[in-house]
C-alpha cells in the first residue's frame, strides 16, 4: 500500500504469511479476510517541524498587532464608513508588521463571518473559509508577490492582465507586493494606470522598507501608513507573554536586554528570544533549570555587564585612569566587544540626561541602577553630560572604523577621562568676554603712571591708549572699527586721564577725528570725554610703535654673529620676513592724507 498522507501515522501492508492464509481461505470457498491494518506511531522525522517564534506568533487579528494603534484606528473608521482606498502602502523598518498588516487587511476585506453573511470588518472572525485560507496563504484571490524576484515589466504585465477578471470566490481580488521598491522604473510606469483606476473588485497592498525609492507618482496613488518602531516597554510585555505561553521562565532584566537589542523590531526580538531560550535549554542541568537569565543573554549578545558599565563611568568621572584601563581589559576578556562597551556608556549618559531634564526617575531594570543614575543626574551639570555624550559619540565612530577596536576604545575613554576635568567651554568663553570688556584699566582710572613729565608719562599713556583703541575696535556701533584703525595710525597721545585725552596728529594726516573720538569714548565709558589737540611730548602712534618694534627685532637679528657671518658669506643676500609689516600708506584712506 502507498504511504498515508497523514503525518501522524503510517499504514503497513499485510505480511507474506497473512496473504498466504488469505489465499488458502479463498481457495477452499471461505471468505477471504483482509488482514487488519495496524497504525504505526509517527517517527520524529514525521512530526510537525518546529516553527520559530516569529512565525508561530505572527498576529492573526488587528488586536494582536502591537504598537500600531493609529493605523488600526484609521482602517477601522474607513471600513465602518465604507471609504476604502484602492491601494494601501505599508512602510517602516524591518520586523514591525508590514506584511502581516497586509494579510490582516486582506482578511478584513474578505471576511464573511462564521455564518457566511458578514461584510468587511476590522475584526475578522478567523473561522470562515476566506480567513482560514488567507491565513494559510492558499486563497486563490489573494496573490502575494515578492518584488525582489519579480522586478520586470513582464511580471507587472501579468498583474495588469489578471485584474480584468473578477475574484473567484472572495469579495475582493487582492495583490500583496512585498518590497515594492525593488520594481524597476519601467515596471512602475507600466503599473501606474492600473494603480490609479483599478477595477472595483481589486485592491493593491504594498509593503516596503525603503519608501524613499518609490516614485512620487506611485506614492500619490496610494494611502500610506508609516508603521512605527515598537517601544522597548511594549516589546518586554509581548516577550513576557510569549514566554508564559511557551512555558519558559525568564528574568525581567533578560527580557529588557532582548527588547533593547531588538531596536524596535518585533521579528528581531523574537529571533533573539528564540536563541536565548535555546541557549537556556542547553543548560537545564544547572540549578536554574534552563531559565533565561540576564547573564546568559548578556554573554550571548556580547553585552557589557550593567554593573561594570556603571563602574567604568565612575572611573571616568573620578579620573582613575588605571582602574579604567583595568575595567576595559576585564570586559574584553569576558567577550564584550569594544563597540558594545562604548554604546553601553552612551546609553548610561543618555538616561542620566533624560532623568535630569524630566525630573523623573531614570529608566533602569533594577533599583540599584536606578539609584546610581539618579545620583549622577543630581551631581553632574547639563554641560558635563553633553560634553560626555559628544566625546563618547566621537569615540564610538573611531572604534567602529579602527583596525584595533580595543586600543581605540582605550584611547577614546582616556580622552573622555582627561576632558572631564576641563572647565566648561561656555563658562570659559564668558569669562574671557568679561575680561575683554573690562573698560579702562584700574591704573589709568586711579592716575597710576599718568604723570605728564616727559618720558615717565609716555609708557602709561601708550598702554592705556592701546586698550582703549581695542575697545573701540570691538564695539558694534557703526563706523567704530574704521575709526579705531584711524586712531591707530593718526593719534599721538600727549596725555590720557579718565574723561580727558589730548593728542597730536601724526605727520601727513589732516582729517578731524575729534568729534568721532569724543562720541566713541563717551559711549564706551559711559561718561563725557574731552578730546583736544595740544602741544608737548607725545607718544608715537600705535602703528609707529609696531613698526619700531619690528625694526628693533630686525636689528637684533642682524646683530646676531651667525647672521652677520652668513650675510658676509653671501653678498647681496636679504632677510625676508614671513609676515611683512603692513604699509601705513596702504592702510590710510586716500582722502585722509595730504596731497
Rounded to whole angstroms, the Cα distance separating 227 from 212 reads 15
pLDDT of amino acid 42 = 41
Residue 219 lies in a domain: yes
Q: Nearest CA to 194 among 161, 165, 147, 166? A: 161
93 and 265 Cβ atoms separated by less than 8 Å: yes
Residue 574 lies in a domain: yes
Q: Is residue 18 over pLDDT 50?
A: no
Q: What is the pLDDT of residues 178-188, one digit of tens each?
A: 989 999 888 89
Residue 295 lies in a domain: yes
The share of the chain scoring above pLDDT 90, in percent, equals: 16
Together in a domain, 374 and 420: yes
Residue 17 lies in a domain: no
- The one-character DSSP state at 438 is -
Q: Is residue 359 over pLDDT 60?
A: yes
Residue, of 562 and 236, whose pLDDT is higher: 236
Q: How confident is the model at residue 303 (pLDDT cuts 50, 70, 90)?
A: low
Rounded to whole angstroms, the Cα distance separating 351 from 376 reads 10
Q: Is residue 369 over pLDDT 90?
A: no
Q: What is the pLDDT of residues 246-298, one digit of tens each?
A: 888 888 888 988 888 888 889 988 999 988 888 776 655 555 557 888 888 87
Which of 300, 320, 355 terminates a domain? The answer is 300
Which of 188, 209, 226 terminates a domain? The answer is 226
Mean pLDDT along residues 240-248: 90
Between the alpha carbon of residue 159 and those of residues 176, 345, 457, the distances in Å are 11, 52, 98
The CATH number for 278's domain is 1.10.8.60
Between the alpha carbon of residue 441 and those of residues 345, 464, 470, 515, the distances in Å are 48, 7, 12, 24
Together in a domain, 213 and 73: yes
The least confident of 107-121, 188-202, 348-362, 384-398 is: 348-362
Specify which residues 531 forms β-bridges with. Answer: 501
Rounded to whole angstroms, the Cα distance separating 343 from 454 reads 69
Together in a domain, 496 and 384: no
Which of 312-326, 429-443, 459-473, 481-495 is modeled with the greatest confidence?
312-326
Residue 195 lies in a domain: yes
Together in a domain, 332 and 285: no
Residue 409, domain extent: 306-425
The DSSP string of 240-270 is HHHHHHHT--B-HHHHHHHHHHHTT-HHHHH
Together in a domain, 493 and 516: yes
- The domain tally of the chain equals 4
Together in a domain, 119 and 243: no
pLDDT of amino acid 488 = 87
Find cell 538616561 and name the residue. 351
Residue, of 220 and 335, whose pLDDT is higher: 220
Together in a domain, 177 and 68: yes
pLDDT of amino acid 431 = 60
279 and 291 Cβ atoms separated by less than 8 Å: no
Residue 18 lies in a domain: no
pLDDT of amino acid 284 = 55
Q: Is residue 398 over pLDDT 90?
A: yes
Give the chain's mean pLDDT: 78
Rounded to whole angstroms, the Cα distance separating 548 from 458 reads 15
Together in a domain, 212 and 84: yes
The CATH number for 570's domain is 3.30.300
pLDDT of amino acid 439 = 43
Q: Is residue 76 over pLDDT 60?
A: yes
What is the widest separation between alpha-carbon atoms in the chain? Answer: 159
Q: What is the pLDDT of residues 459-472, one digit of tens each?
A: 333 476 888 888 88
Which of 84-93, 468-477, 499-508 is modeled with the greatest confidence?
84-93
Together in a domain, 455 and 415: no
pLDDT of amino acid 30 = 41
pTM for the full model? 0.54
pLDDT of amino acid 428 = 58
pLDDT of amino acid 406 = 94
The CATH number for 378's domain is 1.20.272.10
- The one-character DSSP state at 509 is B
Backbone dihedral region for residue 126 (phi beyond 0: left; psi -120 to 50: alpha; all else: beta): left
pLDDT of amino acid 238 = 92
Query: 271: which 3 cell numbers?
Result: 529571533
301 and 261 Cβ atoms separated by less than 8 Å: yes
Which of 3-7, 71-75, 360-364 is modeled with the greatest confidence?
71-75
Rounded to whole angstroms, the Cα distance separating 547 from 551 reads 6
Q: How confident is the model at residue 567 (pLDDT cuts 50, 70, 90)?
A: confident
- Measured in degrees and rounded to the nearest 5, phi and psi for residue 442 equal -60, -35
Residue 11 lies in a domain: no
Which of 226, 246, 263 terminates a domain? The answer is 226
The CATH number for 207's domain is 3.40.50.300
Q: How confident is the model at residue 537 (pLDDT cuts 50, 70, 90)?
A: confident
Residue, of 428 and 196, whose pLDDT is higher: 196
pLDDT of amino acid 588 = 40
Q: What is the pLDDT of residues 495-512, one digit of tens each?
A: 888 888 888 888 888 878
Q: How confident is the model at residue 442 (pLDDT cuts 50, 70, 90)?
A: very low
Residue 43 lies in a domain: no
The DSSP string of 364-433 is -SSHHHHHHHHHHHHHS-HHHHHHHHHHHHHHHHHHHH-SSHHHHHHHHHHHHHHHTTSPPHHHHHHHHH
The least confident of 93-97, 173-177, 535-539, 590-594 is: 590-594
pLDDT of amino acid 326 = 93
pLDDT of amino acid 365 = 61
Half-sphere exposure of 235 (CA within 13 A, CB side): 29
Together in a domain, 126 and 241: no
pLDDT of amino acid 334 = 81
Find cell 476566506 and name the residue. 130
Together in a domain, 279 and 398: no
pLDDT of amino acid 9 = 38
Q: Is residue 443 over pLDDT 70?
A: no
The least confident of 192-196, 344-348, 559-563 is: 559-563
Together in a domain, 485 and 366: no
Amino acid at each position: 500500500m502507498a504511504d498515508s498522507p497523514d503525518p501522524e501515522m503510517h499504514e503497513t501492508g499485510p505480511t507474506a504469511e497473512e496473504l498466504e492464509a488469505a489465499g488458502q481461505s479463498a481457495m477452499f470457498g471461505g471468505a477471504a479476510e483482509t488482514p487488519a491494518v495496524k497504525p504505526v506511531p509517527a517517527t520524529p522525522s514525521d512530526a510537525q517541524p518546529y516553527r520559530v517564534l516569529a512565525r508561530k506568533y505572527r498576529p492573526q487579528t488587528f488586536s494582536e498587532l502591537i504598537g500600531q494603534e493609529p493605523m488600526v484606528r484609521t482602517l477601522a473608521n474607513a471600513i465602518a464608513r465604507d471609504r476604502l482606498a484602492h491601494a494601501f502602502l505599508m512602510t517602516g523598518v524591518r520586523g514591525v508588521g508590514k506584511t502581516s498588516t497586509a494579510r490582516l487587511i486582506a482578511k478584513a476585506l474578505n471576511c464573511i463571518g462564521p455564518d457566511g453573511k458578514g461584510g468587511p470588518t476590522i475584526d475578522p472572525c478567523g473561522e470562515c473559509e476566506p480567513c482560514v485560507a488567507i491565513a494559510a496563504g492558499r486563497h486563490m484571490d489573494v496573490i502575494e508577490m515578492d518584488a525582489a524576484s519579480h522586478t520586470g515589466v513582464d511580471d507587472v504585465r501579468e498583474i495588469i492582465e489578471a485584474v480584468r477578471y473578477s475574484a473567484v470566490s472572495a469579495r475582493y481580488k487582492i495583490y500583496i507586493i512585498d518590497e515594492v521598491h525593488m520594481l524597476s522604473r519601467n515596471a512602475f510606469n507600466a503599473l501606474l494606470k492600473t494603480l490609479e483606476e483599478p477595477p472595483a473588485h481589486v485592491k493593491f497592498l504594498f509593503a516596503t522598507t525603503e519608501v524613499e525609492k518609490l516614485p512620487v507618482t506611485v506614492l500619490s496613488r496610494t494611502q500610506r501608513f508609516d508603521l512605527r518602531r515598537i517601544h522597548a516597554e511594549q516589546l518586554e510585555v509581548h516577550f513576557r507573554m510569549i514566554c508564559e505561553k511557551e512555558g519558559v521562565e525568564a528574568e525581567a532584566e533578560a527580557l529588557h536586554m532582548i527588547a533593547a537589542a531588538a531596536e524596535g523590531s518585533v521579528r528581531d526580538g523574537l529571533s533573539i528570544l528564540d536563541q536565548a531560550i535555546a541557549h537556556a535549554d542547553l543548560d537545564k542541568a544547572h540549578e536554574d533549570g534552563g531559565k533565561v537569565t540576564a547573564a546568559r543573554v548578556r554573554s550571548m549578545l556580547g553585552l557589557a555587564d550593567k554593573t561594570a558599565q556603571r563602574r567604568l563611568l565612575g572611573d571616568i568621572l573620578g579620573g582613575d585612569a588605571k582602574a579604567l584601563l583595568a575595567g576595559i581589559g576585564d570586559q574584553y576578556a569576558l567577550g564584550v566587544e569594544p563597540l558594545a562597551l562604548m554604546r553601553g556608556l552612551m546609553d548610561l549618559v543618555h538616561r542620566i540626561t533624560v532623568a535630569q531634564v524630566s525630573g523623573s526617575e531614570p529608566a533602569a531594570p533594577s533599583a540599584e541602577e536606578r539609584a546610581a543614575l539618579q545620583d549622577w543626574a543630581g551631581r553632574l551639570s547639563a554641560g558635563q553630560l553633553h560634553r560626555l555624550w559628544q566625546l563618547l559619540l566621537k569615540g564610538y565612530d573611531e572604534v567602529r572604523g579602527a583596525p584595533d577596536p580595543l586600543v581605540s576604545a582605550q584611547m577614546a575613554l582616556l580622552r573622555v577621562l582627561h576632558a572631564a576635568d576641563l572647565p566648561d567651554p561656555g563658562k570659559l568663553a564668558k569669562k574671557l568676554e568679561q575680561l575683554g570688556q573690562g573698560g579702562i584699566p584700574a591704573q589709568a582710572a586711579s592716575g597710576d603712571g599718568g604723570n605728564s613729565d616727559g618720558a615717565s608719562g609716555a609708557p602709561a599713556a601708550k598702554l592705556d591708549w592701546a586698550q582703549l583703541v581695542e575697545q573701540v575696535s570691538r564695539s558694534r556701533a557703526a563706523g567704530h572699527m574704521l575709526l579705531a584703525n584711524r586712531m591707530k595710525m593718526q593719534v599721538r597721545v600727549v596725555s590720557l586721564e579718565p574723561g580727558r585725552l589730548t593728542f597730536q596728529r601724526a605727520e601727513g594726516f589732516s582729517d578731524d577725528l575729534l568729534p568721532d573720538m569724543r562720541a566713541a569714548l563717551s559711549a564706551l565709558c559711559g561718561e563725557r570725554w574731552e578730546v583736544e589737540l595740544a602741544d608737548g611730548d607725545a607718544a608715537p602712534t600705535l602703528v609707529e610703535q609696531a613698526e619700531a618694534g619690528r625694526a628693533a627685532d630686525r636689528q637684533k637679528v642682524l646683530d646676531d654673529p651667525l647672521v652677520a657671518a652668513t650675510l658676509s658669506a653671501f653678498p647681496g643676500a636679504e632677510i625676508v620676513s614671513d609676515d611683512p609689516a603692513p604699509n601705513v600708506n596702504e592702510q590710510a584712506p586716500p582722502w585722509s592724507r595730504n596731497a
